[in-house]
Amino acid sequence: MFNFFSSKKEPFQVRKEYNIPAKVQLSIQITPDGWFLVTSPELPGLITQARNAKELLEMVNDAILTYFDVPKKEADEVFNLVNIDGYGIISRKDEKILVAN
């Protein structure tokens, strides 16, 4: 309900205010049961997991925002795409998740 009364900050504003790098290197592995497991060599302790591409983008954003102590009321997203080397790009456009090879 709070989101209805206040607007979220733009991702570039959040990155600047909380000193979040413009790019974050991620290590993405697929577990034997099909989950994506995400860590970052640049951000020790960052770890998240997702069941599919849409959830991957959401969970990566949540993990990075949590890592940098960004309050939930300020942002839901800091990156609108994840580039998976050798596999393609997962991005958000007009509230749709696009997976491109």
pLDDT digits (tens, 9 = 90+) for 65-93: 999 999 999 999 999 888 877 667 888 76
Enclosing domain of residue 54: 2-100
Nearest to 19 by CA among 72, 65, 77: 65
Question: CATH number for the domain including 80?
Answer: 3.30.160.250
The contacts of residue 60 (CB under 8 Å, 6+ apart) are: 26, 38, 48, 50, 79, 82
pLDDT at 96 over 80: no
What is the rounded CA–CA span in Å between residue 18 and residue 91?
Answer: 22
Q: How many domains does the chain have?
A: 1
What is the rounded CA–CA span in Å between residue 60 and residue 78?
Answer: 9
Q: What pLDDT is recorded for position 97? A: 59
pLDDT at 5 over 90: no
What is the rounded CA–CA span in Å between residue 6 and residue 9?
Answer: 10
